[in-house]
Amino acid sequence: MAEWWRGSVTYQVYPRSFQDSDGDGIGDLAGITARLPHLAGLGVEAVWLSPVFRSPMADMGYDVSDYTDVDPLFGDLAAFDAMVARAHDLGLKVIIDQVISHSSDQHPFFKDSRTSRDAAHADWYVWADAQADGSPPNNWLSVFGGSAWEWDSRRRQYYLHNFLPSQPDFNFHNPAVQEWLLSVLRLWLDRGVDGFRLDTVNYYFHDAALRPNGPMPPKEKWPPVNPYEMQDHRFSKSRPENLDWLQKMRALTDAYPDRTMVGEVGDAPWRNVQIMADYTRPGRLHMAYSFDMLEPEFTAAHFRDKIEGFFQGAPDGWPMWAFSNHDVIRHASRWAEHGTPDAVAKLAAVMLLSFEGSICLYQGEELGQVETDIAFDELTDPPGLRFWPDYKGRDGCRTPMVWDATAQGGFTTGTPWLPVKPAQLARNAAAQDGVAGSVLEFYREMLAFRRATPALRAGRTRFFDVPEPVLAFARGDALACVFNLSPRPVTLAATGAMLDAAPRHAAHLEAGRLVLGPNGFAFLQAKGGLTVSSV
């Protein structure tokens, strides 16, 4: 299918937390395979797996020690192949995380690199001498706190790590590194995956001159919990050399039919749009996965600004939008003040699935799942441990999928790696399956509507100028999407007719007036023109 990814909906699986098949409390590939019918029945088109490669798990698999094999925690290559085969049988594409900006310090290449400045892989990672006073080469900071440089007593140099010290950065200025990483991508394409989600895609190259970063403009709450946010990371990431590397990856991917690449892009707000535009120009990434909607802000102006900004900056590019993932507070909790839990969950679903672009859902959001309250002694996440209690880390959104109301939610027969708590058990899949009005059934309804409505997959977006708290836009020439982002009723002037086949909530249209109740929404179709405006 040509460009199957354009307008598609992908479901992110966090393998540790999806389904445990062997009772060790950690999700695995066999468990994912057993639960794939849930995804097919939900109506998504692809599944994205967070990393399952061999890893010491210092950062839960985002520290890879062997890019060619599956970690025994999750199974083996045969289990991986079985999962891919079953997904394809069900009509699902499989996208896998590729964490190639850095490796684990347990990777054989890094172990060799640190032994000597003359080692075979000496220049495969980013090494630099100390300054005369012994301090790091520059002021670059780690996302996870502290300096981005770690002293190594064997080489008597510093090495670069944008994340944990156990996650050293590859040196992409070395052509041999690029060629080897292309061979890694080729291996998994040959194995039958349908594409890659490229972790930290704008971190590949660093400034070869190691110029220091400048400050960020102060914000309302300053200083932040993590000093990383105080720095403008102009030289430590998003370097222009990245563009040629993206083209090499795209050329490789295009050598295989119907494959795709989506890159995780995150940078300063004033630079992010331009980066996404540059990265998704023809011959580079198929899609850019944006952090822009993973924030606390929940206003019509915010969503409009991000969508318009992307397509103005990248008219030939294509975004992938998400409201939740494994790194942020679940949106049902993040936006809880804007309505009742189920109303916010459904409103978020109908909005996201109406946006122009491709969509990514995070496991559990189809249940209206909320953030888990994690105690300090339950934490596993490194930044949570470092910045507690002002930042509690990412464990709260990574707790196990809740399939039923049994003690561990049907996730495991053992002790889960993160706790399953009553607030999450209350939103289990079995209790919502087939129940009219449940969040799960609403997701199925809305996903079916998106698949059946060409305008939602391919129609261009035209926003209507209406005041907060209403977000309203046309997709194509004949479909209007109108959402009340507040728990208060609003009234609008509108032409067109209510589209009865579409999902709607607390919406009434009569005599040119559209009344939306708390968190209400509706789809209108054109009758001699389509307008939505304030009364």
Q: What is the pLDDT of residues 448-460, one digit of tens each?
A: 999 999 999 999 9
CA angle in degrees (0–180, nearest 5) for 337-388-409? 65
Rounded alpha-carbon distances, angstroms, from residue 375 to 164, 372, 378, 421: 22, 10, 5, 12
Is 460-534 in the same CATH topology as 9-101+175-205+241-451?
no
Tell me which residue of 264, 271, 247 sits closest to 182, measured CA to CA: 247
**Residue 61 and residue 96 in contact, taking contact as beta carbons nearer than 8 Å:** no
Type of residue numbered 431:
A
Q: CA 192, CA 124: separation in Å to the nearest integer?
A: 28
The two tokens of residue 499 are 């589209």
Helix, strand, or coil here: 534?
strand
Confidence of residue 529 (pLDDT cuts 50, 70, 90): low
Q: Which residues pair with 505 in a beta bridge?
A: 521
Confidence of residue 535 (pLDDT cuts 50, 70, 90): low
* CATH classification code of 9-101+175-205+241-451: 3.20.20.80
Q: What is the pLDDT of residues 245-298, one digit of tens each?
A: 999 999 999 999 999 999 999 888 778 888 988 999 999 999 999 888 999 999
| Max Cα distance, the chain (Å) | 80
Q: CA 436, CA 432: separation in Å to the nearest integer?
A: 8
Residues carrying an active site annotation: 199, 264
The model carries a pTM of: 0.97
Q: CA 94, CA 47: separation in Å to the nearest integer?
A: 5
Domain ranges, ordered by start, for the chain: 9-101+175-205+241-451, 460-534
Helix, strand, or coil here: 188?
helix
What average pLDDT does this structure show over 75-85?
A: 98
Type of residue numbered 141:
L
Type of residue numbered 57:
M
**Residue 262 and residue 288 in contact, taking contact as beta carbons nearer than 8 Å:** yes
Query: DSSP character for 465?
Result: -
Helix, strand, or coil here: 308?
helix
Q: For 460-534, give the CATH class.
A: mainly beta
Residue 436: CB atoms within 10 A of its CB come to 7
Strands 127-128, 46-49: pairing kind: unpaired
Q: CA 288, CA 197: separation in Å to the nearest integer?
A: 10
